[in-house]
Structure 1
Amino acid sequence: MTNRMTAIVAYITIIGWVVAYLSYRKSDDKSPLVKYHLTQAIGIIIFSIALSIVSGILLVILPALAALFYIISLCPFILMLMGIITASNEAQRPIPLIGKFVEGKFNL
């Protein structure tokens, strides 16, 4: 798998991230592009889980806002698409909202 393809696969669910991570770990040349996008993708995954928990709790308290919570739950999907586009362009730009926060946080 090429570095570009590995960076793209990292954004496709947690299983894709694990496949990309294992591919990165066994490769001889540790591409900074792949490492950067693995970090960004795990940030999106953690953000998605936290958002799901928070919105689930708030939905129980405020069921009238279900439509709003549904729209907010699309945020990780949009961030994932933005990450895939950035990875396919072989650029290392942070994802909006959470990208700067997760840069350098994970030791891959």
Structure 2
Amino acid sequence: MSNKTVAILSYVTIIGWIIAYVKSKDLNPKSDLAVYHLKQGLGLFIVSFIVNILMSVVVAIVPSVGFINFIGIIFLILLIMGIINAANEEEKPFPVIGHMFENRFGFIDK
């Protein structure tokens, strides 16, 4: 599997991320592109999971604010941006939240 394929696959569901993570271990030499997008993809999944749980709780408590579920569209846009950056072999972070993940998830580097 190529570096570009691993980078793109890291954004396609959490199962795709796990497959990309396992395949990235087979890459020789270690690909900075794949590692970068694995970190960005995992960070995006974690943040979107937490935000979706919080939105569900808020909507359950105050049903009249159900329109905040449209925040999920923002994560879809970020996901598409990540796939495009991976396909273009660019290491650009996500707007606002991307820089938080660049130095996190040290287990991916190994």
> TM-score surpassing 0.5?
yes
Equivalent residue number for residue 15 of structure 2: 15
Q: Distance in 1 between matches of 2:47 and 2:83?
A: 17
Gaps of 5+ in 2: none
Q: Distance in 1 between matches of 2:83 and 2:29?
A: 22
Identical residues among aligned pairs (%):
38
Deviations 1:58-108 (A, max 9, x none): 001221111x22211222211110000111110101011210011111111
Equivalent residue number for residue 65 of structure 2: 65
- Partner letter of residue 11 of structure 1? Y
Q: Distance in 2 between matches of 1:60 and 1:70?
A: 12
- Partner letter of residue 31 of structure 2? S
Gaps of 5+ in 1: none
Q: TM-score, normalised on structure 1?
A: 0.94
SS in 2 for 1:47: helix
Equivalent residue number for residue 50 of structure 1: 50
Tell me which moved more, 19-28 or 9-18.
19-28
Equivalent residue number for residue 103 of structure 2: 104
Q: TM-score, normalised on structure 2?
A: 0.93
Determine if contact 1:24/1:30 at 8 Å carries over to the other structure: yes
Determine if contact 1:21/1:38 at 8 Å carries over to the other structure: yes
**RMSD across aligned positions (CA):** 0.9
Count, aligned residues? 107
TM superposition shift of 1:28: 2.1
